[in-house]
Structure 1
Amino acid sequence: MQFLPKPPSAKGPAEWFTGDVHFDVIAPGTETRGKVNAVHFAPGARTAWHRHVNGQTLHVTEGVGLTQSRGGDVVEIRPGDTVWCPPGEWHWHGAAPGHFMTHLAIWDGLADGQDGPETEWGEHVTDAEYRAHSS
C-alpha cells in the first residue's frame, strides 16, 4: 500500500469555468487511465462546454447541480446521482443557482495510439443557456 501525496486544492482556470470553482486531485491516474478529481462549485459556477475523448463519469456527492448535453435539456443533479458523458459528447455541468455542488469527475487519459487532448474545451456556457432549466 502506498499513500499518495495530497496536492493543495487548485482554483479552476477562468478559461474552463465561470464562477468560483476549486478541485482536489483524488487519483492522478497514469498517463492513460483512472483519473479522479473532487470538483467544488459555488452557486451559479459551471464549466465551459467541453468533451472528453474517452468520456467522463460524474458522481454528485453534495449540493444541487445542473448538467446539459449539447442539444439536450438542462437536468438537475443531486447527491447520489451518477451521470455518464459518452466519448466526444459536448456537455457542461455546475452548481444550481443558490446551491453549492460537489461532484467526483472520473475520466481516462489517452490510450496508446490516441491523438489529441484528453479534454477539448469550447465556449463558455451563456447565462441564457444556464438559466434554461425548468426547476
Structure 2
Amino acid sequence: MKVNVDLVLQMRRARAWSQDELATACGLNLRTIQRIEKEATASLQSMKALASAFDVSIRDLEYEESEMINELLEKEVIISVGMSSGPGSTVYGHADDIKGVIVEIQGSWLKLMSGKGKDKPVYINISHIKKITPQ
C-alpha cells in the first residue's frame, strides 16, 4: 500500500520519536520503519501497526495520489522516481529526478514536457514516483 510519508514523519516528529522509538511503539522492526519512510509503501499489517501507534485510522495514512497529482496539472515539477539504470546514472542532472511540466494525466501515467517544447514528452508510471516537488 502507498503511505503518506509526510504525515508519518510529521506525526513521528511531533512526538519527538526516533525511527527506533516508532518501531518499538508499533511492534515493527526498525528496518521496516526505515523502508516505509524511504519507499512510501507498507503492507496492510504494517499500516495497521502505524495507525495504532499514532491513534489514527489506516485511511489517514494512505497516500491519496490521484487528487494530489490532479492539482499539479500544468505546473512545473521535479519528479523523483525509483528506476535508475545503475549507480551514477542521471536523468536531467540528478539521479532519478525528472523536471518538467505535467501536461496530461491518463490513468496511471503522467505526461511531462521538459525544456521549451523542444524535447520529446516523458511518460512516467505513477507507481514509480517517489516524490513530486512543485517548482
Same fold, judged at TM 0.5 (above):
no
If asked which structure has higher relative contact order (CA below 8 Å, sep 6+), I would say: 1
TM range (shorter): under 0.3
Please report the TM-score for the alignment, with normalisation by the length of structure 2: 0.22
Q: Max radius of gyration: which structure?
A: 2
The structure where strand makes up a greater share of residues is: 1
